[in-house]
Structure 1
């Protein structure tokens, strides 16, 4: 029987608030068993860019990463944010190891091809982009990997990769060795029937129900890509996907996505 591995992804809502970040780390430290943490960058990178006189460029919520921007987001994601998280986790009794995709060659990406938009040094993750064996070795050594959103192409070029995509891809890659639970943590209690009512959490969603909720317009806008990605992870072998509030990961209020 496979061990359970819980992979948590956090983003800017937690990373941008010191008090919330400390609360999340304390809650994460209480999660038993094997685990991985994947994090984005929050608003701090955009602020650093502005402070340096570099105008942040976003298209449909995705960052255009030119050479100057890549330097800054690498410093912020793989440096300040990653190491701050590792230090907080160590203080909470979690033996964490901070990694970019280049470290141990754990995530190798390819530069996104130019089509309608040139995203610059943005990395996409093809099949077999994650070195599951190395991550497995670290996990079995009682280390907790903390992965940032910086990857590499294997030829010396760092790349900026979407953290949601990293979380899903790593979860899929490890599904052959573990019963993987993928936890997307954000500022809501789960998937809501009414976006204006934080208590209207849908406790469980299966694929057919998800299609109906989309057709009825209950689930729309920015939640659709996240849930599409989540159900794709389930189809690829991930045991379950959880959508929950980042500060309540040990509480029962959440949405669990299941294959059936």
Structure 2
């Protein structure tokens, strides 16, 4: 028996900051038929608010160091301001959405990252996604909207990279669904030249990725995202793409597909 299809879309901070683009992607999401999940970041908004409050943001290799202060800020921004605005907009578009952190209904548990060379603070590495609970929402025609927060099962919220949350959720749901994972941001795809918006690499395989890495072709900030793409594919996600909002509705033919 064929599995039902499921679309998982992750949107980044630059899209969230751009009200026109955000509305357009939420329109596309609301109009998708069948089960669907939205995952969002919000780091840019958290940084902006942190600056106003005097909370310094520290990034290491594209990853956010999370102090107790910045965790409180992340919870306010990710699970509050950003998540509820997105849910309200989707309801206005006729899409019954439910805003969730990893702690809600115990959907995403994680372990606090061990200190090695760097202490990332209250950052969580995902240990389990409760796919059964998520499936219940989907079968009830409710579209989950996940922010980038997990929990440790012992009362502690943890900050977890939104790209990673999307890959982990897509991977877990692939047991019961045929999953397509879209990483949607402001550019058309992974670029050969960051200054040329149409220099999209249409397909990246694990072999061509090694060559691109050796040649330093891909910008450093894109590497964790591509690593998450391969992680999802290794965990039976059917298709993974990176591009702008138009790839979802089929209007844009120029985007990056990641494949094994």
TM norm. shorter chain > 0.5: yes
Note the C-alpha offset of 1:209.
2.8
Q: 1:137 Cα shift?
A: 0.9
Alignment of 1:108-119 (within 5 A): 108-119=109-120
Pairing 1:207–2:236 present = no
Residues 96, 145 of structure 1: 8 Å contact kept: yes
Instruction: Give me the CA root mean square deviation.
Output: 1.6
Counterpart Cα distance in 2 of 1:93 and 1:230: 30
Question: Which sits farther off after the overlay, 29-38 or 165-174?
Answer: 29-38
**What secondary structure, in the 3-state scheme, does the structure 2 residue paired with 1:43 have?**
helix
Q: Unaligned stretches of 5+ in structure 2? A: none
The alignment status of 1:120 with 2:118, answered yes or no, reads: no
Alpha-carbon distance in structure 2 between the residues aligned to 1:43 and 1:222:
14
Equivalent positions of 1:119-138 (< 5 A) are 119-126=120-127, 129-138=128-137
SS state of the match for residue 84, structure 2?
Answer: helix
Offset from partner CA, 1:20-62 (integer Å, 9 cap, x none): 2112211222222211000011422112222222222222322
1:200-233 Cα shifts (integer Å, max 9, x gaps): 3233333323333333443342222221221221
Structure 2 residue aligned with 1:21: 22
1:160-216 deviation per Cα after TM superposition (whole angstroms, max 9, x unaligned): 111011011111111110111111111211122333322232333333233333334
CA contact 1:190–1:253 (8 Å) conserved in 2: yes
- 2:220 aligned counterpart, secondary structure: coil
- Tell me the TM-score normalized by structure 2: 0.93
What does residue range 150-169 of structure 1 map to in structure 2 within 5 Å? Answer: 150-169=149-168
| TM-score of the two chains, using structure 1 as the length reference | 0.93
Unaligned 5+ runs, structure 1: none
Higher helix share: 2
Q: How do 1:1-260 residues align onto structure 2 when only pairs under 5 Å count?
A: 1-126=2-127, 129-250=128-249, 251=251, 252-259=253-260
Q: How many residues align?
A: 257
The 10-residue stretch of structure 1 (99-108 or 223-232) with the greater mean CA deviation from structure 2: 223-232
Q: Take 2:182 and 2:212, find their aligned partners in 1: how far apart are those partners?
A: 21
